[in-house]
Amino acid sequence: MDGRDGMRAADADREAVADRLRVALGEGRLDLHEYDERLQRAYSARTYAELDALLTDLPPVAPPERSSLAPVTAPGTPLAGGLGGQPVPAAGGVTARWLAEVWLPYLKVIAIVVTIWAVTSLLSQDLLYFWPAWVAGPWGAVLAVRTITGLTGGEPRRQAIERERRRERRRAKRARRRELRAGEPDERDDPRPAG
């Protein structure tokens, strides 16, 4: 591979391809299964050539004012880049949500055990040994390692993408159910008398 094709791609390049694939899904150019496959390949791509191969059969994105396919939006309104017309969450929001999912159970449990320690100390009228440190210390160390490895490995973004995939599958499933229900005859519409 020569030139740009052989160069290693950055995370920003992978994100740009993933955004383009989301737009293609929203436009109906890709089905959900093909989108999922390409998205996985995009996040595992190492070179520009691997990324470019995912977009070769998709037309370039036209600016909204020149596209006949793009929805009409007010000037300055960003186009929806997420699945099913949902906007892609900002990276900061994704990271904050992931950190909350990792650390909130820990903080809740630590608050409970410290409260138990404080109440028992008050009831005994003596400052007892601070045993909650044995709960907080090891668990906190494990969570710190998980946080560092998760943030460096892009775990918040992967979880957000997986969450969006599940939402899209649920939406598709609900749409299929609605279509099936719409196709079923209603018992009240049946002209035959019950008997």
* Rounded (to 5) percent helix, strand, coil in the chain: 65, 0, 30
Q: What is the pTM of this model?
A: 0.44
Residue-level pLDDT, tens digit, the chain, 195 residues: 567 788 888 888 888 888 888 888 888 888 888 888 888 898 888 998 898 898 888 887 655 555 444 444 444 444 344 444 444 445 568 888 889 999 999 999 999 999 999 999 999 999 999 999 999 999 999 999 999 998 888 888 888 888 888 988 898 888 888 888 887 765 555 556 555
Return contacts of 36-39, CB within 8 angstroms, 24+ apart. 36/165, 39/161
Return contacts of 93-99, CB within 8 angstroms, 24+ apart. 94/156, 94/157, 94/159, 94/160, 95/151, 95/156, 97/156, 97/160, 98/150, 98/155, 98/156, 98/159, 98/160, 99/147, 99/156
Phi, psi at residue 128, to the nearest 5°? -75, 165
d(CA 74, CA 116): 56
